[in-house]
Amino acid sequence: MTNSELFALDKQYVLGTYARFPVAIERIEGSTAYDFDGRKYIDFTSGIGVNSVGGANPRWIAAVTEQAQKLAHISNLFYTEPGARLAQRLCEKTGMAGVFFSNSGAESNEALIKLARKYSFDKYGPGRACVVTLEGSFHGRTVTTLSATGQDKFHNFFFPFTEGFRFTPANDIAALEKALGNDVCALIMEPVQGEGGVLPLDGGFIAAAEKLCREKDILLMFDEVQTGVGRTGKLFAYQHFGVKPDAVSFAKGIAGGLPLGGILAAESCRDVLGAGTHATTFGANPICTAAANAVLDILEDGVLDSVSEKGAYIRSRIENMGLGCIAGTRGLGLMIGIPVKGVSHSEAAKKLISAGVLILTAGADALRMLPSLTISREEIDEGLDIFEKTLKGAAI
Ligand SMILES: *Cc1c(COP(=O)(O)O)cnc(C)c1O
């Protein structure tokens, strides 16, 4: 099949929910992708942060293959090993008490919301169902996680939305204090807003949020669907800030390319979701959780330690290119936002992709890079050389 045959097939039979770039990827090795016509691309997207250990990673392939030969699925009515082992490792690395596994980021955030409301209902009865989130946040595409998302453009068409969400501006402690009223059970925040523009929260704001939450027994929760699993240089981004959340969601990078998500709950929330209160058929799927164990093995093998340095290298190279259309860089670890000026972020992304660099956008003005955590120095340099050459022409 050629690129253009695939474009036509997809356009005819797949619902048009995605405004795709005109590129069809056939395979990826590490952070180097190839299309159906054999053209090469340096991948700075890792499939939106999912291919955390790169394409065709041999240790990941071995783990997935071995598990597929033993047990692909049996349901959560029975015990299986890879999920239990993964839960143990995640708890030991974070000091959390337990894990619930789901299949996506939105579903993981749904679990956070259910956990928060039940924690409060069990302890205080009705009237404390409100969940506070941040303006500019992104929490998913289900009706309830759209409701939790603090961006007006997502609150359209699908009425009626779920009640019980309140938005407050990021990094504004006085506004947060007002938002955390007596009707609130939880505060959910992304440590670095991803879709909203790669905007890190201030450490002081996170510390103040923890203090305010503790005073009122409001649960402090992080949506680490994008920031988790080593993306920012720690296993979870909240670990940069010295806080102890009550629960944390994760998804994207956890299984290195297979669908898996979940939440980590602290001792405070260990027993809130008892038998029969929450479930999902595919959750803790043995192949997905075996893949996630391989991802943790690879991160432990020096990859996690390389993330901050790789991120700093990419940012300093970009900042030193002297490009007129680049207004700086921001982010944490290998979650990099590059605000552009004089050109729209989507135009810049289109130019870069057609020049051979896969890249994302975020918020109103930024290009976004979420490379595989295993990306090599050679791949970084090759991609940044193309980036520099391509955007030189776009300078104002
Ligand atoms: C991607 C993302 C989600 C949604 O994850 P899905 O797997 O697409 O449901 C939720 N929260 C954040 C912070 C994300 O980046």
Quick: pLDDT tens for 160-201. 999 999 999 999 999 999 999 999 999 999 999 999 999 999
Q: What whole-number distance in Å separates Cα of residue 65 and Cα of residue 386? A: 35
Ligand 1 within 6 A of 226 CB? yes
Q: What whole-number distance in Å separates Cα of residue 236 and Cα of residue 243? A: 11
| Residue 394 pLDDT grade (very low, low, confident, very high; cuts 50, 70, 90) | low
Ligand 1 within 6 A of 133 CB? no
Half-sphere exposure (Cβ direction) of 329: Cα atoms closer than 13 Å: 21
Q: Which atom of ligand 1 is nearest to the CA of 226?
A: 15
The structure tokens 């190279």 sit at 317
- Cα–ligand 1 centroid distance for 195 (angstroms): 9
Average pLDDT over residues 16-42: 97
Residue ranges of E strands in 20-126 = 25-29, 32-35, 40-43, 98-102
Q: Which atom of ligand 1 is nearest to the CA of 261?
A: 7
Average pLDDT over residues 229-238: 98
Average pLDDT over residues 361-381: 98
Ligand 1 within 6 A of 223 CB? yes
Ligand 1 within 6 A of 140 CB? yes
Task: Evaluate if residue 395 carries a pLDDT over 60.
Answer: no
pLDDT in tens, 241-277: 999 999 999 999 999 999 999 999 999 999 999 999 9
- For residue 24, give the nearest of 385, 373, 361, 358 by alpha carbon: 358
Q: What whole-number distance in Å separates Cα of residue 324 and Cα of residue 240? A: 33
Ligand 1 within 6 A of 197 CB? no
Ligand 1 within 6 A of 139 CB? yes
Q: Which atom of ligand 1 is nearest to the CA of 193?
A: 13
Q: Which atom of ligand 1 is nearest to the CA of 194?
A: 15
Tokens of 22: 């005109």
Ligand 1 within 6 A of 119 CB? no
Of 108, 144, 225, 263, which is best to mutate to test ligand 1, by the most ligand atoms within 8 angstroms of its C-beta? 225
Q: Whose CA is nearest to atom 6 of ligand 1?
A: 105
Q: What whole-number distance in Å separates Cα of residue 368 and Cα of residue 194? A: 9
Q: Which atom of ligand 1 is nearest to the CA of 249?
A: 11
From residue 10, give the alpha-carbon distance in Å to each of 25, 209, 256, 307. Answer: 13, 46, 25, 36
Ligand 1 within 6 A of 105 CB? yes
Point out which residues pair with 199 in neighbouring strands.
Answer: 193
Tokens of 349: 């992304």
pLDDT in tens, 293-328: 999 999 999 999 999 999 999 999 999 999 999 999
Residue ranges of E strands in the chain = 25-29, 32-35, 40-43, 98-102, 130-134, 165-168, 184-189, 192-193, 199-200, 219-223, 247-250, 261-265, 330-332, 335-339, 357-358, 360-362, 366-369
- Cα–ligand 1 centroid distance for 394 (angstroms): 31
From residue 297, give the alpha-carbon distance in Å to each of 11, 90, 254, 293, 352. Answer: 39, 12, 12, 6, 33
Q: Which atom of ligand 1 is nearest to the CA of 106?
A: 9
Report, in angstroms and rounded to the nearest whole number, the Rg of the chain calculated over CA atoms.
21
What does the mean pLDDT of the chain come to?
Answer: 97
- Cα–ligand 1 centroid distance for 150 (angstroms): 14
Q: What whole-number distance in Å separates Cα of residue 286 and Cα of residue 199? A: 35
Q: How remote is the C-alpha of 279 from its chain's centroid? A: 22
- Cα–ligand 1 centroid distance for 138 (angstroms): 7
Asked if residue 160 has a cis previous peptide bond (ω within 30° of 0), the answer is yes
- Cα–ligand 1 centroid distance for 37 (angstroms): 31
- pTM for the predicted model, two decimal places: 0.98
For a pLDDT cut of 70, what percent of the chain falls above it?
Answer: 99
Ligand 1 within 6 A of 104 CB? yes
Q: Whose CA is nearest to atom 5 of ligand 1?
A: 105
- Dihedral of alpha carbons 390, 385, 313, 54, sign: positive
- Cα–ligand 1 centroid distance for 230 (angstroms): 16
Task: Evaluate if residue 396 carries a pLDDT over 60.
Answer: no
- Cα–ligand 1 centroid distance for 140 (angstroms): 5
First-to-final CA distance of the chain: 40
Of 221, 252, 360, which is best to mutate to test ligand 1, by the most ligand atoms within 8 angstroms of its C-beta? 252
Tokens of 196: 């909203």
| Residue 393 pLDDT grade (very low, low, confident, very high; cuts 50, 70, 90) | confident
pLDDT in tens, 107-138: 999 999 999 999 999 999 999 999 999 999 99
Ligand 1 within 6 A of 224 CB? no
Ligand 1 within 6 A of 198 CB? no
